[in-house]
Amino acid sequence: NADVAMYRVKEHGRNNYRFYTPEMTHMAIDRLDMEGNLRRALERDELLVYYQPLVDFTTGRIVGAEALVRWQHPRIGMIQPSEFIPLAEDTGLIIPLGQLVLRQTCADIKAWQALGLPPVKISLNLSARQFRQDDLSATIREVLDEMAVDGHLLAFELTESMVMHDVENTLDTLRELKTLGATISLDDFGTGYSSLSYLKRFPIDTLKIDRSFVRDIHHDNDDSAIAHAVIAMAHKLGIKVIAEGVECAAQLDLLREFGCDELQGYFFSRPVPVEEFTLMLKQGRSLADLADT
Ligand code: C2E
Ligand code: MG
Ligand code: MG
Ligand code: MG
């Protein structure tokens, strides 16, 4: 579809003609169009929260999930976050989008509680612009209070690039988030700069090893050495480790051997709609079920 294609061209830069269409000269207009579309999407319930399970290595059980937004466009169909999160970030629409994801997540948590399901911890992604919001923790607290959800059930995911500037402000914001009862995860770990000093300086609870290190872990000695060392170091600092992008049993076996705490990845489940995630919780789906099939 044209308006999405236009935006892709812009995102991928001048030299990428993969999504070229003859109407490319209208790119600026279409970007505006896309912005208008996203604005309307926020009002029309076109944004959905999918959940991808986080699984405990020791018990094999689901202990949490990452909330990942999807855009169900009435004409184009499902649009992935990489196609609209950058635009949302540029335009400031990420603020109402983040509010929407938080509200939806809280509503889903309430629904799971009403069903008597065991509590799971939900991870929410924060982008740079959200993180720099002055009243970030206050607005989150408002939603938690209004919806009567315990902040201990939430984790906030940040990337290294977001915490590296302005150490004092970062520290303040992280402390405020923690007073909500939430935990802090460092997302995409290993892809940024000066990773180690931040683990020491900031109150990080969890580290998510980026999937680029997990991908070849069973073939590449360097990647496996890095993953092993990162897990050992994090544990010495009292930090929990989640492996992202686990896609096969060989990766899983190695990560378990290295003492990794939780896994996330297509091997267990892709991100799924709330109904499907609720079903997994009801069934108590676990790693053992995968071995059976
Ligand atoms: P992320 O936070 O690093 O999320 C993990 C991404 O890895 C997700 O992509 C997930 O679907 C994908 N993934 C998980 N397991 C596997 C696997 O085994 N193999 C492969 N190839 N991929 C896997 P997704 O859902 O497309 O999200 C992309 C990014 O968009 C996220 O990266 C996050 O940075 C951002 N994002 C998503 N939802 C939100 C949101 O609600 N708010 C904000 N601010 N950002 C969001
Ligand atoms: Mg994330
Ligand atoms: Mg990640
Ligand atoms: Mg990642």
**Using one digit for the tens of pLDDT, what is the confidence trace for 175-211?**
999 999 999 999 999 887 656 777 888 999 999 999 9
Atom of ligand 1 at shortest range from CA of 80: 26
How far is C-alpha 208 from the chain's CA centre?
10
Instruction: Say if ligand 1 is within 6 A of residue 81 CB.
Output: yes
Q: What is the ipTM of this complex?
A: 0.98
Question: How many C-beta atoms surround the C-beta of residue 213 within 10 A?
Answer: 22
pLDDT digits (tens, 9 = 90+) for 87-107: 999 999 999 999 999 999 999
pLDDT at res. 176: 96
Using the mean position of ligand 4's atoms as its centre, give its distance from the Cα of residue 37 in Å.
27
pLDDT at res. 285: 97
pLDDT digits (tens, 9 = 90+) for 105-133: 999 999 999 999 999 999 999 999 999 99
Instruction: Say if ligand 1 is within 6 A of residue 210 CB.
Output: no
- In angstroms, the CA 51 to CA 278 distance is 9
Instruction: Give the SS3 label for residue 78.
Output: strand
- In angstroms, the CA 96 to CA 42 distance is 8
pLDDT at res. 13: 45
> Among 3-12, 83-92, 190-199, 225-234, which stretch is predicted with the lowest mean pLDDT?
3-12
pTM of the full structure: 0.91
* Ligand 1 probe mutation, 68, 93, 242, 247, most atoms within 8 A of CB: 68
> Do 185 and 205 touch, CB atoms closer than 8 A?
yes
Question: How many C-beta atoms surround the C-beta of residue 78 within 10 A?
Answer: 11
Atom of ligand 1 at shortest range from CA of 94: 44
Locate 249 and state its tokens.
Answer: 């049993």
Using the mean position of ligand 4's atoms as its centre, give its distance from the Cα of residue 126 in Å.
13
| Predicted confidence (pLDDT) at residue 292 exceeds the cutoff of 50 | yes
Locate 231 and state its tokens.
Answer: 């897990």
Tally the residues of the chain: 293
> Do 244 and 261 touch, CB atoms closer than 8 A?
no
